[in-house]
Structures are given as C-alpha cells and as structure tokens.
C-alpha cells in the first residue's frame, strides 16, 4: 500500500472504477482511457512498482495475473486479446503500480 498511488487508492475504494473482477490478490477494472473497444487492467493488490522490482517471491502472483487474462477476456466477450506490461518511464509506464493491460475487440 502506497498512500500516493492511484491504483492503491482504487484498491482501497477511495477512487471509483468500472470494476469487472476482484479477489484476495487482484482487482480488475476498465481503463479510464481505453485504447481499444475493450481495455482493462489486471492489478495486483500488492504495491509493486514495476516488473523490474519483482523477485522470485512474486512468481506465483505474476503467473496468476496472466492466468486471469483469458478468463476475464472471455467474460468480456472477447475471442482473442492482446496483453501489455509497460515497465519504467522509458517503457511507457505512467502508473508505478504493476499492472497488465488487456486489449480486445479490434
């Protein structure tokens, strides 16, 4: 939990989102500026800034994040989808709380 992190605020319920899924470890919601017909973000509740900050202890969490993508894409009516993880400012990352983008409906 980081007090000035927008995704931590969403997880805490302080900022509303169009949530599509939640469990003990993840929250998933529609991106506020969708880049495709369907565009949602898979966000672990654990505040990890970037993929570069992940260690072996996060392997299972990262695996679970990817495993959620096809399940939730299907729930959004997608037959196929793209995934993206931006890493670091030079990698196009804007929110420094790790997340997986899922795009579909092109």
97 binds Zn ion (CB under 5 A): yes
| Choice between 5 and 56, CB closer to ligand AMP | 5
Q: Which stretch binds ligand AMP (CB under 6 A): 25-33, 43-51, 59-67, 70-78?
A: 25-33
Phi, psi of 81 (to 5 degrees): -160, 170
How far is it, in rounded angstroms, from Cα 74 to Cα 62?
20
Does residue number 75 form part of the binding site for Zn ion (CB under 5 A)? no
Residue 98: how many other CB atoms lie within 10 Å: 26
Q: How far apart are CA 93 and CA 89, in angstroms?
A: 5
58 binds, among ligand AMP, Zn ion, none (CB under 5 to 8 A by kind): none
Q: If contact means CB under 5 to 8 A according to the sort of partner, which of Zn ion, ligand AMP, none does residue 33 touch?
A: ligand AMP
Tokens standing for residue 96? 């420094």
């Amino acid at each position: 939990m980081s007090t000035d992190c927008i995704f931590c605020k969403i997880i805490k319920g302080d900022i509303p989102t169009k949530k599509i899924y939640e469990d003990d470890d993840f929250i998933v919601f529609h991106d506020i500026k969708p880049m495709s017909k369907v565009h949602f973000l898979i966000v672990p509740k654990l505040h990890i800034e970037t993929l570069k900050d992940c260690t072996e202890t996060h392997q299972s969490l990262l695996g679970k994040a990817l495993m959620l993508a096809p399940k939730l894409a299907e729930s959004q009516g997608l037959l196929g989808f793209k995934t993206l993880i931006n890493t670091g400012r030079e990698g196009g990352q804007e929110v420094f709380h790790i997340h997986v983008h899922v795009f579909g409906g092109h």
